[in-house]
Chain A
Amino acid sequence: MIFAGIDAGSRSIKVVLYDAATRKVVGRGIAEQGVDQARLAEALFDQTLEASGLGRSQVARTVATGYGRGSVRFAQSTVTEITCHARGVWQTSPNARTIIEIGGQDSKVIWIEPDGRVRDFAMNDRCAAGTGRFLEMVAARLGVDLCKLGEMSRASARPAVISSTCVVFAETEIIGLLASGAAVADIAAGVQKAIASRVSTMAMRAVVPPVYFTGGVALQAGMCRALQHALGAEVRVVPDPQFTGALGAALVAADQAD
Chain B
Amino acid sequence: MKHCLLKPLSLDAWDDRYRELVQSGLIDPFYGGPLSRHVTASGDHRLERLRFDSSPAALRLWNFLLTENERLRQARAAGDRLVGAMKDLGTVPVMAFALKGLRAFYPDGTWWTPCLMEETDCLLPKAEALGIDASFCPVRAMLAAFQDGGHFPRPDFLICSAGAVCDDFSAIAQRLEKLGFPVLWWEIPRRRAPEPGETHSVLPGGMVTARELVDCVREELARVGKALAELAGQVPSDAIWKEGVQAANHVRGLLAELRRTVYRAPVPPLPAIEMLIAEMLAIHYCSDREETVAVLTDLLDEARRRLGTRVGVVADDAVRVFWVNPVADLRAMNLLEEWGGCLCGSDFMFTHAMDFIPENMPPLEALARMALADPMVGPAADRAARVVREARAAKAEAVVVARIPGASHSATEGRVILEAMRHALGIPGVEVEIAPVCDAMQPTLAGRLQALLETARARRMKKP
- Which of A24-32, A45-53, A116-124, A228-236 lines the interface with chain B? A116-124
Q: Say yes or no: A118-B428 contact (C-beta < 8 A), given A83-B454, A83-B458.
A: yes
For the complex, is A82 an interface residue (Cβ under 8 Å from B)? yes
Of A67, A70, A83, A126, which is within 8 A of B455 by CB?
A83
Q: Say yes or no: A119-B464 contact (C-beta < 8 A), given A67-B443, A80-B450, A80-B454.
A: no
Q: Say yes or no: A67-B451 contact (C-beta < 8 A), given A123-B430, A204-B419.
A: no
A80 touches B428 (CB 8 A): no
| A112-151 interface code vs B (CB 8 A; 1 in, 0 out) | 0101011111110110000000000000000000000000
Segment 203-234 of A: residues with Cβ below 8 Å from B: 204
B428 touches A120 (CB 8 A): yes
In the bound complex, CA of A82 to CA of B428 (Å): 12
In the bound complex, CA of A79 to CA of B457 (Å): 12
B451 touches A123 (CB 8 A): yes
In the bound complex, CA of A81 to CA of B433 (Å): 19
Complex: chain A residue closest to B421, CB-CB: A120
B456 to chain A, nearest CB (A): 9
For the complex, is B196 an interface residue (Cβ under 8 Å from A)? no
B463 touches A82 (CB 8 A): no
Number of A-B pairs, beta carbon distance below 8 Å: 56
Q: Say yes or no: A126-B433 contact (C-beta < 8 A), given A83-B454, A117-B461.
A: yes
Provide the residues of chain B in CB contact with A121, threshold 8 Å: 428, 430, 451, 455
A125 touches B429 (CB 8 A): no
Provide the residues of chain B in CB contact with A125, threshold 8 Å: 444, 447-448
Q: Say yes or no: A81-B464 contact (C-beta < 8 A), given A117-B459, A120-B422, A120-B455.
A: no
Of A79, A83, A123, A204, which is within 8 A of B448 by CB?
A123
B423 to chain A, nearest CB (A): 10
A contacts with B, residue count (CB < 8 A): 20
Provide the residues of chain A in CB contact with B415, threshold 8 Å: 204
In the bound complex, CA of A170 to CA of B379 (Å): 33
A115 touches B464 (CB 8 A): yes
Segment 63-113 of A: residues with Cβ below 8 Å from B: 67, 70, 79-83, 106, 113
A81 touches B451 (CB 8 A): yes
Provide the residues of chain B in CB contact with A67, threshold 8 Å: 443, 447
In the bound complex, CA of A106 to CA of B451 (Å): 14
A82 touches B444 (CB 8 A): no
A19 to chain B, nearest CB (A): 23
In the bound complex, CA of A122 to CA of B430 (Å): 7
Provide the residues of chain B in CB contact with A79, threshold 8 Å: 454
Provide the residues of chain B in CB contact with A80, threshold 8 Å: 447, 450-451, 454
Provide the residues of chain B in CB contact with A117, threshold 8 Å: 455, 458-459, 461, 463
Provide the residues of chain A in CB contact with B447, threshold 8 Å: 67, 80-81, 106, 123, 125
In the bound complex, CA of A79 to CA of B453 (Å): 11
B448 touches A119 (CB 8 A): no
Provide the residues of chain A in CB contact with B429, threshold 8 Å: 120
In the bound complex, CA of A120 to CA of B429 (Å): 7
Of B444, B461, B463, which is within 8 A of A126 by CB?
B444
B412 to chain A, nearest CB (A): 12
Complex: chain A residue closest to B398, CB-CB: A120
In the bound complex, CA of A113 to CA of B428 (Å): 12
Provide the residues of chain B in CB contact with A119, threshold 8 Å: 426, 428, 455, 459
Complex: chain A residue closest to B449, CB-CB: A80
B430 touches A118 (CB 8 A): no
Interface centre among A115, A120, A125 (most CB of B within 10 A): A120
In the bound complex, CA of A204 to CA of B458 (Å): 23
Q: Say yes or no: A83-B422 contact (C-beta < 8 A), given A120-B428, A121-B428, A125-B444.
A: no
Provide the residues of chain A in CB contact with B458, threshold 8 Å: 83, 117-118
Provide the residues of chain A in CB contact with B454, threshold 8 Å: 79-80, 82-83, 118
In the bound complex, CA of A121 to CA of B459 (Å): 13
In the bound complex, CA of A121 to CA of B463 (Å): 19
B192 to chain A, nearest CB (A): 26
B15 to chain A, nearest CB (A): 29
Provide the residues of chain A in CB contact with B464, threshold 8 Å: 115
In the bound complex, CA of A119 to CA of B421 (Å): 13
In the bound complex, CA of A125 to CA of B446 (Å): 11
Q: Say yes or no: A83-B451 contact (C-beta < 8 A), given A67-B443, A204-B419.
A: yes
A195 to chain B, nearest CB (A): 19
Complex: chain B residue closest to A118, CB-CB: B455
In the bound complex, CA of A73 to CA of B448 (Å): 21
B364 to chain A, nearest CB (A): 43
Provide the residues of chain A in CB contact with B419, threshold 8 Å: 204
Segment 398-427 of B: residues with Cβ below 8 Å from A: 415, 419, 422, 426
Provide the residues of chain A in CB contact with B426, threshold 8 Å: 119
B159 to chain A, nearest CB (A): 36
In the bound complex, CA of A37 to CA of B57 (Å): 43
In the bound complex, CA of A125 to CA of B445 (Å): 9
| B41-83 interface code vs A (CB 8 A; 1 in, 0 out) | 0000000000000000000000000000000000000000000
In the bound complex, CA of A142 to CA of B428 (Å): 40
In the bound complex, CA of A121 to CA of B446 (Å): 15
B443 to chain A, nearest CB (A): 6
B463 touches A115 (CB 8 A): yes
In the bound complex, CA of A115 to CA of B447 (Å): 23
A151 to chain B, nearest CB (A): 32
Complex: chain A residue closest to B429, CB-CB: A120
> Which 10 interchain pairs have the tightest Cβ spacing?
A82-B451, A80-B451, A120-B428, A118-B455, A117-B458, A83-B454, A80-B450, A125-B444, A115-B463, A115-B464
What are 15 A-B pairs with beta-carbon distances under 8 A? A67-B447, A70-B443, A70-B446, A79-B454, A80-B454, A82-B451, A113-B463, A118-B428, A118-B454, A119-B428, A120-B428, A120-B455, A121-B455, A123-B448, A125-B447
Given contacts A117-B459, A119-B426, A123-B447, 13 further A-B contacts (CB under 8 A): A79-B454, A80-B447, A80-B451, A81-B451, A113-B463, A115-B463, A117-B463, A118-B428, A121-B451, A123-B430, A125-B447, A126-B433, A204-B419
What residues make up the interface of A, taking CB atoms closer than 8 Å to B? 67, 70, 79-83, 106, 113, 115, 117-123, 125-126, 204
